[in-house]
Amino acid sequence: MNRKAGGTVAPNTADQLAAMPDDWERALAVVAHPDDMEYGSAAAVAEWTAAGKQVSYLMVTRGEAGIDGLEPAECARVREAEQHASARTVGVTAVEFLGHRDGVIEEGVPLRRDIAAAMRKWRPELVVTLNHRETWGGTSWNTPDHRAVGRAVLDAAGDAGNRWIFPEQLASGGEGAWGGVRWVAVAGSPQATHAVPVGKEAVDRAVASLSEHRAYITALSDEPVESYARSFTEWAVGLGADRFGGRDCVTFELYPR
């Protein structure tokens, strides 16, 4: 994601944002890296878990290429631990890692297969991912990992419900296929359509959640970790306010299934 508060994300301001649906119980967030949820979506997750909804996280990589000063094996260990601590802060206890290679995620059937298997395991009604589009808005180019994972998530939401796709994952007769994904919500999209209103407590929890990525933020910025996390989170939840009745919110591009 664009890591700089006040960066160049340029959401579409042509119309108002609709409220995200809330008539669901289980969500699965599928993103490329540890920290991807914290750069934008954690305040929404905090609101959801506070309301009693179940949210689980799936990281496609362990983030091993994310800190230049750490060798990949050590970086993966550190970032995995930071992600577990970060998730707990917003009420998420289930965090899994697929182990694809950070920085060179390949879009294609193997990635779709892994994500479909996770959907069949967790059986979410709502799936959350990160921006799959080429830019964050304007000329701020998105990374290949984000684009590959986002597109694979959109595809896998259909794969999971088709018993003839990846049938080796299923019991006899296709038992275990999951066609219950009702929406895929793409965070950080420059073409946002919906939003989740977030209050002060959820924003504070999101700040604490991002702050848990201490090693990553320290490598990224000279600003104190908590100050960096606060400025980014408050900037992010304000991006859609002018399209959402002036309220702080987390925005999503919503794809009904």
Q: Mind listing the pLDDT tens digit for each residue in 46-71? A: 999 999 999 999 999 999 999 999 99
* Contacts for 253 with CB less than 8 Å, ≥ 6 apart: 185, 186, 189, 191, 192, 193, 194
pLDDT of residue 10: 42
**Widest pairwise Cα distance in the chain:** 56
> Per residue in 86-124, pLDDT tens?
999 999 999 999 999 999 999 999 999 999 999 999 999
> Per residue in 158-169, pLDDT tens?
999 999 999 999
Contact between residue 105 and residue 66 where contact means Cβ atoms under 8 Å apart: no
Structure tokens at 189: 């999209």
Average pLDDT value for residue range 18-32:
98
> Per residue in 173-222, pLDDT tens?
889 999 999 999 999 999 999 999 999 999 999 999 999 999 999 999 99
Per-residue pLDDT band at 40 (split at 50, 70, 90): confident
Residue 22 has pLDDT above 50, yes or no: yes
**CB contact burial 12-51 (16+ within 10 A = b; e otherwise):** beeeebeebeeebeebbbbbbbbbbbbbbbbbbbbbbbee
pLDDT of residue 224: 97
Residue 12 has pLDDT above 60, yes or no: no
Q: Which of 152, 64, 145, 79 is nearest to 114 (CA)?
A: 152
Q: Which of 89, 94, 92 is nearest to 208 (CA)?
A: 89
Per-residue pLDDT band at 5 (split at 50, 70, 90): very low
Average pLDDT value for residue range 222-244:
97
Residue 28 one-letter amino acid: L
Average of per-residue pLDDT values in the chain: 94
> How many angstroms separate the CA atoms of 83 and 36, rounded?
10
DSSP letters, 171-182, are: -GGGTT------
Residue 226 has pLDDT above 50, yes or no: yes
Report the DSSP beta bridge partners of residue 6.
none
Per-residue pLDDT band at 131 (split at 50, 70, 90): very high
Structure tokens at 88: 């707990």
Q: How many CB atoms lie within 10 A of CB 73?
A: 10
Residue 9 has pLDDT above 50, yes or no: no
Q: How many CB atoms lie within 10 A of CB 250?
A: 31
CATH number of 18-256: 3.40.50.10320
Contact between residue 188 and residue 173 where contact means Cβ atoms under 8 Å apart: no
Q: pTM here? A: 0.93
Average pLDDT value for residue range 146-155:
98
Contact between residue 107 and residue 148 where contact means Cβ atoms under 8 Å apart: yes
Alpha helix (H) residue ranges in 28-178: 42-50, 72-89, 109-122, 144-159
